[in-house]
Structure 1
């Protein structure tokens, strides 16, 4: 329960109680479905005694404002309830409360650490998202563990042969990081391929992996493949279409889905669509003004062109091009074609830079090919209120994304585990629960690191290298003490990642203690035969625990966020399962009160009525 208090030397006075992520105060937690009636309850100390209270709601663009009178009844214990009942059309709204008949602050809004607060003016409102569900969210997406694979660095079958001027390296060497003539070419390869992934499917199954997310696999010049040359062809160094289809089939037999990385915002300058380098003769938009791909790109009068973040090797696709839209989203287009060949969906790269006119068609095409296809967006911020290029996006309104990469939670967990800042994590969780629809919240892609970030082990235990160059980064590794401490912190972070709402996504190698600063050092080779076995066993146990329905579909409620401790409850009425997760990053023991007897799923120890957590301690308790 969140409250407003007045502090003096004598006592604390609670004036207001309100918490929109508690169903007692808001009957529908989180975003609300269009036209669904719901109630809001505000509790005000009777000493305040306002003559009336109003809930003021307004929409995102200022075209709608409505005051909802709140009727009053007694709640006991010196408080009155003020209740409003309403329903709304799809959109993004804000709201706060207005008290009449008081001589001091008469606005009630969201204060520090998301607690209710009194305001004279400039009230900070709460967010209220309203969605209209059009597409069914995949029922399989949150049922296990996702595993992200950077194909060239995961496992090599020994069959990859470098083409053009690409360089084949020895497995385990440090990736190249020096610029070549001022351009980062990313042309060093280690031989990882789709056949290598197939050979490791039993290993992935042992981690309870139910979804593989592959970084781009289509033909491209670089090792990362975000500079697509041909969306219709698997890169020859990774294999063939037959290899991909076999991967999907064999994975499916093990209960594993495969999701592809959809890079639909830009292509490589060497692609058949653009062809600046002349690899495809005189064809392509850059060399031929009459090319069928010409209107895919925005050329300027001086011959320059629009690029992704000014990288000349990544010309940006004009999403309004009818030809481009047809190529990607038509019946035989790229989106549907690869789903038909076995993919279970797409993770959309830089989705915030894909205009709605293209994004809507991508989603529609995927869902038409397979209503159970998953569409996950790369969004680094709160996806419920994202503004991009001056446009408010509507990813989560029920007509676009099934899920997004959960960078906010990643940052909250890392901050908490590193520093013990439980309030930072609590604020993040509040925003996710309050702002997101339940069908998105329960399907969030919970990451601790990706190919775009510092490795989680390094992030937790390593030196801060944010303001140094790659030359310096290449020389720094964790000391033995840093590594040991980092593994302890990583286990703590993983406990949270695996038990929050949403599903955990493990970046390949994190489960065995890989380290490395940002690109390219976070993209090293998986250390087959040199794994941290103890850490791997811990991840395998977490994978087993994550298979319980309470962690995929259970309700969430925060229990404690104080003194360096964060604890929450998951409850699944369907299976009759309740779990309590608690982590202590404080400096002293913390006693957690329990209503019954629980068993720690990690150690088997039983706790009755209370659980004492030591510093750096954690538990995953199941009610017995």
Structure 2
């Protein structure tokens, strides 16, 4: 099925982007600009704001013109009572009205949630959009210090059995998946920093590193010490120092919603030198948890029915002090010397609360945010959400989220024909664009640039496996990952072509024998990462869809120095043909010729052809 070069083209007549110069702040006064096509026949143009939660229309005046277009400008009144100022544009025409919000044009006033959003007093960390993150499941990345292997000996026997030591790269056994230890550690991560930098990685996100009985370590039994199998606290200090000497950043995984049943606070197995909550109401930690029947210790409220991780009651003042409020709280401690981590990724952040049902979630997260920002105003507060996350990413809670809903899931449906549950689900390019636009328009753009875009993680099958190891489609996915608004994150081993279905197979050992790598895929990752690092527009630039139809999707990223056009063609047999719209001339370097940076395409004066299963990234 071939793609029409016309019907998928964006025919928009109003353009505003929440980046400079279309949104700028001069002497504390925000200035907004709006392009209006002459064909609109505008009689009056307004920017609409709500400085006191009431409508305020500000007339806009023409400050510049291009053939067929006029540029309007006005000062935007801010709302001093809120962190976020919302605004949109209203155009009166000889025949009606036309409105523009962050989701596009409409003939009527838009809902507040999809209007443009300006943050003045609350900003995400300035360094985040420039990064390329790399997620490391530490136990399976690299064994850098064999002397720490099984440093705790045979872990506490629980209902799942004792730990098993295995040789690096041996197959994973599903019946003992969380008890098989291969020896990966933090010294191994430190030893591979040259490799990561050669790929282009600038920041790490580490799965939990604190003492825990399992491989995955989401069941923490000691928040104050790095697991001995990972090398202990000194290994983390050595790693963070090496990272910072190289100008790299690091996030740790905060698992504060629940703790291990082997934690002294709970002590289900009676192996700790404490009277845990499981021992009864006489325990000083009994109220750290919630029991449906206070007389039955097995009635504890646990995460997703998993008895090994009882849920913590973060409404308890002692727990709040321990995790957030106290000067030496866990959140603050690891952000200070000698570790100086650069932020936290927070596990199941939407479930954290005062009691077992996420009660007062925003209050609890506000306390964690305060602890992070007081310790380091540029600390990154990243939340895990598998589903829609815009409630938490309005600027006042999280800086960004693991962007499953706003990136990974729509891309999965478009390229791998699966939904979040791996059910059949195929999107057209039009539907992909609609999904992306819907979520992007509900987030302040500064926070959109800090959304952690990803293709897969330790909680999903590997994307290459979802694609049935189709390298052409994987290349398209990598192009989207490195060019779409947000900060990209690779899951360890994706770049060499590691495969694997869901847990435990998605957590296999990294293969360090380069003869076994998918070298062309690795080179593609490296090339796309390099392009992103060299192109400011791909880091902090604006976004506009150019074309979305059937198998073809194209968009531009731009800032005041250059414009980048990205086009992908999912169709394996037919080229994608796009008529380049005239409005592209409004963007920087509008008169310059396009130059291909990566990929392949043929180009006439105003038309672009992308080969089957192909892509192109062009700049001017």
What's the TM-score once normalised by structure 1's chain length? 0.77
Matched, 1:525 2:522: no
Matched, 1:554 2:541: yes
| 8 Å Cα contact 1:226/1:267 also seen in 2 | yes
In structure 1, how many angstroms separate the alpha carbons of the residues matched to 2:60 and 2:446? 33
Matched, 1:345 2:332: no
In structure 2, how many angstroms separate the alpha carbons of the residues matched to 1:234 and 1:66? 52
Q: 1:539 to 1:44 in 2, by over 3 A?
A: closer
Matched, 1:535 2:535: no
- Per-residue CA deviation, residues 55-81 of structure 1 (Å, 9 max, x unaligned), is 99999xxxx9755669799999999x9
Matched, 1:413 2:419: no
- Per-residue CA deviation, residues 357-388 of structure 1 (Å, 9 max, x unaligned), is 3211211112222222211111233322x3xx
Aligned counterpart for 2:456 among listed residues 449, 452, 462: 449
In structure 1, how many angstroms separate the alpha carbons of the residues matched to 2:125 and 2:18? 27
Aligned counterpart for 2:126 among listed residues 139, 145, 168: 139
In structure 2, how many angstroms separate the alpha carbons of the residues matched to 1:205 and 1:263? 28
Query: Aligned pair count?
Result: 557
Task: Give 1:599-618 correspondences, 5 Å limit.
Answer: 599-602=595-598, 609=605, 610-618=607-615
Matched, 1:296 2:283: no
Deviation at 1:565, TM superposition (A): 1.8
Partner residue in 1 for 2:312: 317
Task: Give 1:117-132 correspondences, 5 Å limit.
Answer: 127-128=114-115, 130=117
Partner residue in 1 for 2:4: none
In structure 2, how many angstroms separate the alpha carbons of the residues matched to 1:250 and 1:69? 53
Partner residue in 1 for 2:136: 149
In structure 2, how many angstroms separate the alpha carbons of the residues matched to 1:547 and 1:145? 8
Task: Give 1:64-79 correspondences, 5 Å limit.
Answer: 66=54
Q: 1:131 to 1:300 in 2, by over 3 A?
A: farther
| 8 Å Cα contact 2:382/2:400 also seen in 1 | yes
Aligned counterpart for 1:502 among listed residues 486, 491, 500: 486
Q: 1:431 to 1:46 in 2, by over 3 A?
A: closer
Aligned counterpart for 2:442 among listed residues 424, 435, 438: 435
Partner residue in 1 for 2:431: 424
Matched, 1:374 2:361: no
Q: 1:553 to 1:116 in 2, by over 3 A?
A: closer
Aligned counterpart for 1:172 among listed residues 144, 169, 177: 169
Partner residue in 2 for 1:478: none
In structure 2, how many angstroms separate the alpha carbons of the residues matched to 1:603 and 1:56? 42
- Per-residue CA deviation, residues 397-423 of structure 1 (Å, 9 max, x unaligned), is 3x3222211112112223333467212
Partner residue in 2 for 1:396: 394
In structure 2, how many angstroms separate the alpha carbons of the residues matched to 1:55 and 1:554? 22
In structure 2, how many angstroms separate the alpha carbons of the residues matched to 1:531 and 1:489? 18
Aligned counterpart for 2:327 among listed residues 316, 331, 354: 331
- SS in structure 1 at match of 2:335: helix
Q: 1:328 to 1:54 in 2, by over 3 A?
A: same
| 8 Å Cα contact 1:453/1:522 also seen in 2 | yes
Matched, 1:492 2:476: yes
Matched, 1:231 2:223: yes
Over the aligned positions, Cα root-mean-square deviation in angstroms equals 4.2
Partner residue in 2 for 1:475: none
Deviation at 1:45, TM superposition (A): 8.9
| 8 Å Cα contact 2:265/2:277 also seen in 1 | yes
Q: 1:98 to 1:46 in 2, by over 3 A?
A: closer
- SS in structure 1 at match of 2:386: coil
Matched, 1:590 2:566: no
| 8 Å Cα contact 1:584/1:616 also seen in 2 | yes
Task: Give 1:16-415 correspondences, 5 Å limit.
Answer: 66=54, 87-88=78-79, 89-90=81-82, 116=105, 127-128=114-115, 130=117, 133-134=120-121, 136-157=123-144, 158-159=146-147, 160-161=149-150, 162-164=153-155, 165-178=162-175, 186-302=178-294, 303=296, 304-329=299-324, 330-340=326-336, 341-354=339-352, 355-384=361-390, 386=391, 393=392, 395-397=393-395, 399-407=396-404, 408-415=406-413
Gaps of 5+ in 2: 1-6, 156-161, 353-360, 417-425, 585-590
- Per-residue CA deviation, residues 291-315 of structure 1 (Å, 9 max, x unaligned), is 4433221223343222222222111
| 8 Å Cα contact 2:600/2:611 also seen in 1 | no
Deviation at 1:489, TM superposition (A): 0.9
Point out the more displaced range, 368-377 or 297-306. 297-306
In structure 1, how many angstroms separate the alpha carbons of the residues matched to 2:46 and 2:540? 35
In structure 2, how many angstroms separate the alpha carbons of the residues matched to 1:44 and 1:319? 57
- SS in structure 1 at match of 2:277: coil
| 8 Å Cα contact 1:497/1:504 also seen in 2 | yes
Partner residue in 2 for 1:390: none
| 8 Å Cα contact 1:257/1:343 also seen in 2 | yes
In structure 2, how many angstroms separate the alpha carbons of the residues matched to 1:154 and 1:611? 42
In structure 1, how many angstroms separate the alpha carbons of the residues matched to 2:593 and 2:97? 44
Q: 1:168 to 1:107 in 2, by over 3 A?
A: farther
Q: 1:342 to 1:549 in 2, by over 3 A?
A: same
